[in-house]
C-alpha cells in the first residue's frame, strides 16, 4: 500500500516552515505591540456554536467537518473549527467578558471541505479580534495593523477593498423581500455573487418607485474617496433615510484612512463569505490573490448570548502569504548552516570534549550538529573534528586548510576570525 | 469487462420487473420470492445483474462496483446530501414508485423546547441534516433510525422526515415542509457514463418509460419557524418501555405472558405501535430493535427489548453511553460471525490477515453492524480496510462487492447456500432487556423497573424460549 498524504492536505517542508514561523512571529510581534494578547481556542467545538442564526452561511456549513464524538449519542455534533472568529467570540463570552474591551490575536488552523482536493482543506490564519469597541477608530486600527504586518513581511502592492454589510442589508430591506429571500441574497453577495441582488432590484421597481436612480449606482459603486460616499449620501438622503447611519459610519472610517494616507477601493459587492458581518468589511489583495480580510460583527456576540458587545476583527491567510514572503527581504536571517562536530564515539575522552565544545558553540549562537558518521562535511561546510590527543580541535571550512586549537575558547576565536 | 447493473429488492421490485419485461429482458429470476441475487437476462446475456436492497444501490454505483442501477431517487439524494462529489449521474426518471419526502411534526400546539434542541428522527439522516442547516435551525440533533420514524413524535422527536403522506396523516402528524419528490430512477456511475458504451441497455429501458407527466412542484420548504413540540417529561415515574417490531415479537410476547404480563394489540395486525400493557405506570411503544440503544441512551425510553448485537454496536460507537444490559432474555439466539467466500483460501482471521499482508489488499468489509465490523477489523489487524454499510441481504455482496461480511446467523444455512463460509465467531447474541442508568434516580421508577426485571429474569432463567 502506497504511503500518501490525505487528499486536500499539505505538508510544510523545513523551508516553508521557516517562512511560516517568520510570518507568525512578525504577526505576533506587531499585535503584541498594538496591545493585543495571544489566545488559542480548541480545534474541536460544538456544531451549534456555528449554526446559530447569523454566524456562517449555509454554503459554509455544508462543508464543515462535523462528526459524532465518542459520547455523542444525543446526536449533537462537534466540528473541526471552520472559522477563527466565532470561537474567539465564544472564548470572550466564557472567560473575558468582565474585561469589557479585549484585544485578542491568534494563529490557528481552520478546516473547510473543498471538493477537488487541490486546495488545502486545512487552512492557517493569523487572526486579530477587537472586542468591546464599536467605533470607526477601532475599524481603522484593525486595517492599519493588518497593513503593518504585510508591510513588515515585505509584501508590496497590497490592495485594500472596502464594503459595508450594513449598507447591503438595509438595501435588501427596501426590496420587499421575505426574510428568507433577504438572507439568501445577502449570502450570495457575501460569496461574491450579485446576480440575485440585481434580479431582485429589477423586480422591485414597481414595489419601491423612485429607487431606480439610487440603487444601481449603489450596487456597482466603486470609488476611491470619502467624497464618493458623501455624494452618494446626498443622492440617497431622501429616498433611503435608513441608509444614512451606515453611510455616516462608512464615511467615518474612510476619512480616517484617508487622513492616515492609506489607499483603498470601495467595492460594495465584494464579499467575504461570513454572514456575521454587520458594518465595514475589508479585504486585502496581493495581485489577484486575496490574502486576508475582516470586518465588523456587532451582532455576533449578542446572538451568542454574550450581551450587547460590538466587535470587529480580521484574519490574514497564512497559506497564501507563504508563497509571497521571502526570508531575505524580511530582514531576518534564515537558519544558519550547522557546524558539523566530528568525533570518534569510541574515544570517550574526545566524546566528552566534543559535547562540551558543541554546547559552548550553541551558547555563542552557533548551530552545532553532531556528525553521525558517513556524512562527510559538504564542500563548503564547516567542520570541527574533536580528538583526545593534541591538537584537540581541528577546524576546517570546505577545502581550505585546517586550523588547530587546544580549547573551546580558542575554537570560538577561530570562528569569529 | 462486462457491464454490471444493480436492481432493487423491496417496494420497487414489482414495477421494475414489469418495466424490464416490457423491454423484453427475459429475466430468469427477479420476483418477490427471490432467494438468489443474480438474475440473468436473455436479451443481454453478457450483462451482470445483481439484486440489492435499494438503499445500497447508490453507494454501489458511486464506488464503481456497478455501471448502472435502478433505485429510488430519495436514496440517491441521501447519499449526495453527505457526499456531493459522489460519482453518480441521474440518467432517467422512470416514472413509477412516486413518493414525497415530508418533514412532519406532531399535530397540536407547537411550543419551543426549553433547551432549544430540535430532535429530528429519520431513515434519511443526511437529508434531515441538510434540511436543518438550510432552515437555520440553530441547535438540532439527528437520530438516524432504521424504521418506524413516524411513531417517534411527540415524545421522542420533534420532527421526522418521512417518505409518504399516509405515514404523516395516519400518525397524528402534520406536514411542515416538502423536502423531496422521489421516484424510481436510472442511475449510472460517472466514469462508466463518460467512458463506456451503455447505450443498448439504457435505450432498451428508456424506450419503455412513459413520457414524464407534468412537472411536479419543486421541493419547497413551507417552514417559516420550526416548531418544537415540547418534550414530555415523565416526572411522574411512568416507565417507558420499547418493544421490538418484526420477528422478535412472538418470543417477546411469549416471555411476557409467562411473567403474567399481557398486551393488547401486539403484534398488531393494523400497524398499531402503541399497544397497552397490563402493568400500571408503564407505557409501551413499538420500534426497531436496531434503534433502541440510541433511544434509551437519549432518555426517550427507560427500558427496551433489543439484541446484544445492537447493544454492542451502540456501545462500540459510544463507549460511555448510559445504556446497559439488565436481563439476558435468552431468546433470539444468533451468532455474529465473520464470513468470506468459499473460494478464499483462508480458514480463520489469522489466515485472512496473512493473505491481506501478502497481497497488499485493502479489505472491503460489508455489514449492517458498521461499528462492530470496524472494531473487529482493527482488533484482528486486517490492514487498511473499508467498511461498507448495508441494509440487509448482505450475503449478496460476496465475492464481487466485498471481501468479508460481519453477519448474524442462526443456523449458518443461508451462508452455506450462498457459497460462503464462516471463519470466526465474534460473539453469541441473544435478546436482552436494556435500561438507562439514570432511570433509577426516580424512586417510583426504580421500584417499577425492579419489579419488571425480577419477573423477566425469573422467566428467562427457568425456561429459555427456543428459537427455531
Sign of CA dihedral B27, B32, B34, B37: positive
Confidence at residue B12, expressed as pLDDT on a 0 to 100 scale: 93
CATH T-level fold of A14-330: BirA Bifunctional Protein; domain 2 (3.30.930)
Chain A contacts of B224, Cβ < 8 Å? Answer: 180
Mean of the per-residue pLDDT values for chain A?
85
pLDDT at position A191, please?
A: 63
The mean pLDDT value for A158-162 works out to 93
Q: Which of A354-363, A377-386, B188-197 bottoms out in mean pLDDT, i.e. has the lowest? A: A377-386
Interface test with B, best of A75, A179, A275 (most B CBs within 10 A): A75
What integer pLDDT is reported at residue B231 of this predicted model? 44
pLDDT of residue B399: 87
Pairing of strands B404-409, B334-341: antiparallel
Cα of B324 vs its chain's centroid, Å: 22
pTM value is 0.82
DSSP classification of residue A328: G
Segments of A68-204 assigned E as strands: 78-80, 102-111, 122-131, 158-164
Q: How far is CA B201 from CA B8, B186, B207, in A?
A: 16, 11, 10
Partner-chain contact B134 A76, CB within 8 Å: no
Give residue B385's pLDDT band: very low, low, confident or very high (50, 70, 90). Answer: confident
What is the average pLDDT across A114-139?
92
Q: Which pLDDT does position B230 carry in this prediction?
A: 39
The answer on pLDDT for A218 being more than 80 is no
Alpha helical stretches, state H, A34-153? 48-51, 58-61, 85-91, 136-152
pLDDT band at A204 (very low <50, low <70, confident <90, very high): low
| CB within 8 Å: A58 and B137 | no
> By mean pLDDT, which of A186-190, B75-79, B366-370, B435-439 is the weakest?
A186-190
Structure-model confidence comparison of residues A252 and A203, the more confident one: A252
User: For a pLDDT cut of 90, what percent of chain B falls above it?
Assistant: 63
Note whether B231 contacts A: Cβ–Cβ < 8 A: no
Q: What is the least distance, in Å, from the CA of A51 to any CA of chain B?
A: 5
A52–B139: do the CB atoms touch at under 8 Å? yes
pLDDT at A416 over 50: yes
Question: Is the per-residue pLDDT at B214 higher than 70?
Answer: no
**Could you report the predicted ipTM of this complex, rounded to two decimals?**
0.77
- pLDDT at residue number B220: 46
Between B133 and A319, where is the model more confident?
A319
The closest CB to that of B297, out of A51, A58, A73, belongs to A73
Instruction: Tell me whether strands B334-341 and B282-287 are parallel, antiparallel or unpaired.
Output: unpaired
What's the pLDDT score for residue A4? Answer: 86
Please indicate whether residue B181 or residue A167 has the higher confidence score (pLDDT): B181
Over range B140-151, report the average pLDDT. Answer: 91
- The C-alpha cell at B272 is 398499531
Identify the pLDDT of residue B462. 78
Nearest CA in chain A to B84: A115
pLDDT at position A219 is 61
Q: H/E element holding A254?
A: helix A244-259
CATH 3.40.50 domain span(s) along chain A? 339-416
Cell of B421: 463460509
Q: What is the pLDDT of residue B409?
A: 94
Phi, psi of B327 (to 5 degrees): -140, 135
Q: Where in chain A is the domain with CATH 3.30.930.10?
A: 14-330
**Angle, vertex CA A268, rays to CA A264 and CA A270, nearest 5:** 85
B429, pLDDT greater than 90:
yes
Least confident window among A309-323, A338-352, B32-46, B318-332: B32-46
pLDDT at B246 > cutoff 60: yes
Say if CB B235 and CB B297 are below 8 A apart: no
Q: What does the radius of gyration of chain B's CA atoms come to, in whole angstroms?
A: 24
pLDDT band at A205 (very low <50, low <70, confident <90, very high): low
Highest mean pLDDT among A146-160, A369-383, B211-225: A146-160
The pLDDT score that the predictor gives to residue A54 is 60
Chain A contact for B375 (CB, 8 A cutoff): no
B278: how many CB neighbours lie within 10 A of its CB? 11
CA distance A183 to chain B (A): 10
In which residue are the cell numbers 443526511 written? B126
Confidence of residue B457 (pLDDT cuts 50, 70, 90): very high
- Residue A135 DSSP code: S
For residue A118, the model assigns a pLDDT of: 81
Give the pLDDT of residue A260. Answer: 94
pLDDT exceeds 90 at position A90:
yes
Q: Which residues of A touch B362 (CB under 8 A)?
A: 1
B299 CA to centre of own chain: 21
Residue A404: the pLDDT is 93
User: Which domains does chain B show, CATH number per domain?
Assistant: 4-96+182-206 (3.40.190.10), 99-181 (3.40.190.10), 239-332+431-462 (3.40.190.10), 334-429 (3.40.190.10)
Q: What is chain B's mean pLDDT, rounded? A: 88
Q: How would residue A261 be classed by pLDDT, with cut points 50, 70 and 90?
A: very high
Which whole number is the average pLDDT over B246-268? 93
Q: In angstroms, rounded to a whole number, what is the distance separating the alpha carbons of residues A223 and A229? A: 8
> Residue B23, preceding bond cis, omega within 30 degrees?
no
Instruction: Dihedral sign for Cα B130, B132, B133, B139, please.
Output: negative
Tell me what pLDDT residue A329 has. Answer: 59
- pLDDT higher than threshold 80 for residue A228: no
CATH architecture of A339-416: 3-Layer(aba) Sandwich (3.40)
Task: Name the pLDDT band for B192 (thresholds 50, 70, 90).
Answer: very high
Residue B132 distance to chain A (closest CA, Å): 9
pLDDT of residue A151: 95
- Interface A–B counts its CB contacts (< 8 A) at 58
pLDDT at residue B227, rounded to an integer: 44
Q: What share of chain A has pLDDT > 90, as a percent?
A: 53
Residue B232 or residue B360, greater confidence: B360
Predicted pLDDT at B468: 44
| Distance from C-alpha of B38 to C-alpha of B57, rounded to nearest angstrom | 15
Taking CB atoms and an 8 Å cutoff, what residues of chain B touch A53?
A: 136, 138
Q: Which stretch of A325-329, B172-176, B418-422, B443-447 has the lowest confidence by average pLDDT?
A: A325-329
Among B266-280, B379-393, B452-466, which range has the highest average pLDDT? B266-280
What Cα–Cα distance (Å) separates residue A414 from each residue in A362, A370, B280?
15, 19, 96
Q: How many CA atoms lie within 13 A of A401 on its CB side?
A: 0
Amino acid at each position: 500500500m502506497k504511503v500518501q498524504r490525505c487528499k486536500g492536505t499539505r505538508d510544510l517542508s523545513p523551508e516553508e516552515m521557516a517562512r511560516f514561523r517568520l510570518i507568525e512571529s512578525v504577526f505576533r510581534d506587531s499585535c503584541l505591540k498594538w496591545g493585543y494578547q495571544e489566545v488559542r481556542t480548541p480545534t474541536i467545538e460544538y456544531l451549534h456554536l456555528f449554526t446559530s442564526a447569523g454566524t456562517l452561511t449555509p454554503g459554509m456549513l455544508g462543508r464543515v467537518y462535523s462528526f459524532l464524538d465518542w459520547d455523542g449519542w444525543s446526536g449533537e455534533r462537534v466540528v473541526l473549527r471552520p472559522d477563527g472568529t466565532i470561537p474567539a467570540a465564544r472564548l470572550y463570552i466564557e472567560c473575558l467578558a468582565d474585561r469589557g474591551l479585549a484585544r485578542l490575536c491568534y494563529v490557528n488552523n481552520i478546516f473547510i471541505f473543498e471538493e477537488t482536493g487541490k486546495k488545502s482543506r486545512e487552512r492557517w490564519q493569523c487572526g486579530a479580534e477587537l472586542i468591546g469597541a464599536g467605533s470607526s477608530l477601532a475599524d481603522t486600527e484593525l486595517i492599519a495593523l493588518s497593513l503593518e504586518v504585510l508591510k513588515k513581511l515585505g509584501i508590496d502592492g497590497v490592495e485594500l477593498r472596502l464594503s459595508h454589510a450594513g449598507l447591503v442589508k438595509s438595501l435588501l430591506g427596501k426590496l420587499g423581500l421575505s426574510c428568507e429571500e433577504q438572507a439568501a441574497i445577502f449570502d450570495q453577495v457575501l460569496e461574491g455573487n450579485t446576480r440575485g441582488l440585481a434580479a431582485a432590484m429589477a423586480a422591485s421597481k414597481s414595489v419601491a418607485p423612485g429607487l431606480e436612480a439610487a440603487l444601481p449606482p449603489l450596487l456597482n459603486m466603486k470609488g476611491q474617496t470619502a467624497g464618493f460616499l458623501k455624494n452618494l449620501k446626498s443622492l440617497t438622503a431622501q429616498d433611503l433615510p435608513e441608509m444614512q447611519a451606515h453611510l455616516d459610519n462608512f464615511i467615518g472610517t474612510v476619512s480616517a484612512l484617508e487622513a492616515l494616507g492609506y489607499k483603498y477601493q470601495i467595492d460594495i459587492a465584494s464579499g467575504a463569505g461570513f454572514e456575521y458581518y454587520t458594518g465595514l468589511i475589508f479585504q486585502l489583495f496581493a495581485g489577484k490573490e486575496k490574502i486576508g480580510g475582516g470586518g465588523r460583527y456587532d451582532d455576533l456576540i449578542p446572538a451568542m448570548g454574550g450581551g450587547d458587545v460590538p466587535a470587529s476583527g480580521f484574519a490574514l491567510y497564512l497559506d497564501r502569504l507563504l508563497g509571497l514572503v521571502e526570508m531575505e527581504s524580511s530582514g531576518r536571517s534564515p537558519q544558519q548552516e550547522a557546524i558539523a562536530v566530528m568525533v570518534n564515539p569510541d574515544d570517550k575522552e574526545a566524546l566528552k570534549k566534543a559535547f562540551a565544545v558543541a554546547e559552548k558553540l550553541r551558547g555563542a549562537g552557533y548551530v552545532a550538529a553532531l556528525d553521525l558518521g558517513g556524512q562527510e562535511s559538504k564542500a563548503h561546510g564547516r567542520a570541527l573534528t574533536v580528538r583526545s590527543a593534541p591538537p584537540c580541535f581541528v577546524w576546517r571550512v570546505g577545502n581550505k586548510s585546517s586550523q588547530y586549537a587546544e580549547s573551546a575558547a580558542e575554537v570560538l576565536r577561530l570562528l569569529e576570525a | 469487462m462486462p457491464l454490471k447493473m444493480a436492481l432493487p429488492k423491496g417496494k420497487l421490485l414489482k414495477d421494475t420487473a414489469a418495466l424490464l419485461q416490457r423491454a423484453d429482458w427475459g429475466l430468469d429470476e427477479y420476483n418477490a420470492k427471490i432467494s438468489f441475487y443474480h438474475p440473468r437476462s436473455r436479451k443481454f446475456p453478457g450483462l451482470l445483474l445483481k439484486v440489492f436492497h435499494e438503499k445500497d444501490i447508490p453507494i454501489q454505483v458511486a464506488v464503481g462496483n456497478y455501471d448502472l442501477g435502478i433505485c429510488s431517487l430519495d436514496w440517491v439524494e441521501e447519499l449526495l446530501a453527505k457526499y456531493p462529489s459522489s460519482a453518480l449521474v441521474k440518467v432517467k426518471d422512470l416514472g413509477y414508485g412516486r413518493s414525497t419526502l415530508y418533514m412532519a411534526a406532531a399535530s397540536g400546539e407547537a411550543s419551543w423546547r426549553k433547551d432549544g434542541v430540535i430532535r429530528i428522527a429519520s431513515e434519511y439522516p443526511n437529508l434531515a441534516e441538510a434540511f436543518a442547516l438550510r432552515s437555520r435551525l440553530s441547535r438540532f440533533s439527528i437520530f438516524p433510525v432504521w424504521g418506524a420514524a413516524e411513531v417517534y413524535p411527540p415524545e421522542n422527536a420533534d420532527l421526522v422526515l418521512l417518505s409518504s403522506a399516509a405515514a404523516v396523516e395516519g400518525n397524528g402528524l402534520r406536514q411542515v415542509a416538502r423536502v423531496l419528490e422521489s421516484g424510481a430512477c436510472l442511475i449510472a456511475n460517472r466514469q462508466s457514463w463518460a467512458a463506456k458504451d451503455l447505450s443498448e441497455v439504457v435505450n432498451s429501458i428508456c424506450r419503455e418509460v412513459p413520457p414524464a407527466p407534468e412537472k411536479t412542484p419543486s421541493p419547497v420548504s413551507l417552514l417559516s419557524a420550526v416548531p418544537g413540540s415540547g418534550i414530555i417529561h415523565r416526572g411522574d415515574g411512568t416507565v417507558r418501555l420499547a418493544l421490538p417490531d418484526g420477528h422478535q415479537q412472538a418470543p417477546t410476547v411469549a416471555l411476557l405472558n409467562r411473567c403474567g404480563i399481557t398486551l393488547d394489540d401486539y403484534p398488531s395486525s393494523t400497524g398499531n405501535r402503541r399497544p397497552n400493557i397490563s402493568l400500571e405506570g408503564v407505557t409501551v411503544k413499538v420500534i426497531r430493535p436496531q434503534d433502541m440503544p440510541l433511544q434509551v441512551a437519549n432518555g426517550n425510553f427507560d427500558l427496551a427489548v433489543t439484541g446484544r448485537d445492537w447493544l454492542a454496536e451502540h456501545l462500540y460507537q459510544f463507549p460511555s453511553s448510559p445504556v446497559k444490559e439488565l436481563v439476558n432474555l435468552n431468546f433470539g439466539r444468533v451468532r455474529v460471525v465473520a464470513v468470506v467466500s468459499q473460494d478464499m483460501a483462508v480458514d480463520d482471521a489469522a489466515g485472512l490477515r496473512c493473505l491481506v499482508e501478502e497481497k497488499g489488499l485493502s479489505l472491503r468489509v460489508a455489514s449492517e453492524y458498521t461499528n462492530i465490523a470496524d472494531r473487529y477489523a482493527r482488533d484482528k489487524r486486517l490492514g487498511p480496510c473499508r467498511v461498507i454499510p448495508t441494509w440487509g441481504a448482505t450475503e449478496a455482496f460476496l465475492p464481487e462487492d466485498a471481501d468479508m461480511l460481519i453477519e448474524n446467523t442462526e443456523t449458518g444455512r443461508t451462508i452455506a447456500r450462498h457459497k460462503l463460509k464462516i471463519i470466526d465467531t465474534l460473539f453469541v447474541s441473544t435478546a436482552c432487556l436494556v435500561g438507562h442508568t439514570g432511570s433509577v434516580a426516580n424512586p417510583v421508577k426504580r421500584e417499577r423497573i425492579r419489579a419488571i426485571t425480577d419477573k423477566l429474569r425469573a422467566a428467562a432463567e427457568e425456561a429459555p424460549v427456543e428459537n427455531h
